[in-house]
Amino acid sequence: MADSDRPSDPRESFAPVAEKYLTSAAHAKPDELLALVQRIEPVGGVVLDVGTGAGHTAFAFAPRVDRVIAYDMTQEMLDIVARVSSERGLGNIEKRLGRAEELPFEDDSIDGVVTRLAAHHFEDVGEFVSEVGRVLKRDGWFLVVDTVGPESVGIQKELDHIERLRDPSHGHDLSVSEWGAFVDGAGFSTEWVDVTRKTLDLEDWLERMNVPESRKPTLRELILDSEGQLRQYLSPGIGAEPTFDLWEMALFARKA
């Protein structure tokens, strides 16, 4: 792998743009989050939100459970969570700093774990899933929502290259089958998996990560002029406000 294709520290990418993720329409989606919470139907207990970012998922779960632990490796994100949870009167949200692969919690101590739109930044997804299995109580639930890549390894590499040009901390958009292998291998029982297309405004996607002006033309070309299977995946919309698609998976499983 070339040095330019190696993921950088996510803190370098997200610390300067933390506030943009609080107002990001692609991440807030209150109706979508409410539907997820209602589908899971948590009642009380402790929920751990790994890679909480600006806290949208933590805020959605907080009214339905006893405590939410908003967990992230970027302090600037946690500062936003602290501020907004106070503004909204959500006193049951605890902030913790750390890596997804090293969850500082006791075995069998958490009722539910969720990670949303974050796992493609994790250094080792297999180790993360293993840690989730360790900290969850028996019959505890695990919800993953994240961008997924196609099953073709070659197209995955093209997609990851585009993602990393935009955000150097991007790791890998796992395919649905790769996620299934990690979850099954850790002893979880998968209850449902949904995969949907998510249409994004290209310019908003570039601005959210403060992409340098010198790099934007390359990214526009790679997306809007894509060909073959990559074009089928991205489905670019060329117009006054160009768009493209990323595929998103929601997977729900329980610890046996």
In this structure, the chain runs to a length of: 256
What percent of the chain clears pLDDT 70, i.e. is strictly above it? 89
- Straight-line distance from the first to the last Cα atom of the chain, in angstroms, rounded to the nearest whole number: 37
As a dihedral over the C-alpha atoms of residue 177, residue 198, residue 57, residue 46, rounded to 10 degrees, the angle is -20
Q: Tell me how many domains the chain contains.
A: 1
**According to the model, what pLDDT value does residue 239 have?**
86
Q: State the maximum Cα–Cα separation within the chain, in Å, rounded to a whole number.
A: 53
**According to the model, what pLDDT value does residue 1 have?**
42
Task: Dump pLDDT digits (tens) for 153-193.
Answer: 999 999 999 999 999 999 999 999 999 999 999 999 999 99
**According to the model, what pLDDT value does residue 2 have?**
42
CB 133 within 8 A of CB 103: no
Query: Model confidence at 83, in pLDDT bands (50, 70, 90)?
Result: very high
* Contacts (Cβ under 8 Å, ≥6 apart) of 8: 168, 169
Q: Looking at the domain assignment, is residue 213 inside a domain?
A: no
Q: Looking at the domain assignment, is residue 111 inside a domain?
A: yes
pLDDT at 112 over 90: yes
Q: Looking at the domain assignment, is residue 228 inside a domain?
A: no
DSSP classification of residue 168: T
**21 or 211: whose pLDDT is higher?**
211
State the average pLDDT over residues 186-214: 95
What mean pLDDT, rounded, does the chain reach? 91
Nearest Cα residue to 232 out of 245, 250, 218, 241: 245
Q: Looking at the domain assignment, is residue 35 inside a domain?
A: yes
State the average pLDDT over residues 88-103: 97
Is 247 strand, coil or helix? strand
Q: The tokens of 64 are what?
A: 């339905």
**CATH number reported for the structural domain that contains residue 106 in this entry:** 3.40.50.150
Q: Looking at the domain assignment, is residue 230 inside a domain?
A: no
CB 210 within 8 A of CB 172: no
CB 159 within 8 A of CB 149: yes
**Position 208, amino acid:** R
Range of the domain at 170: 3-199+248-255
State the average pLDDT over residues 102-109: 98
Q: Looking at the domain assignment, is residue 219 inside a domain?
A: no
DSSP classification of residue 237: B
Model confidence, pTM: 0.90
* Displacement of CA 128 from its chain's centroid (Å): 13
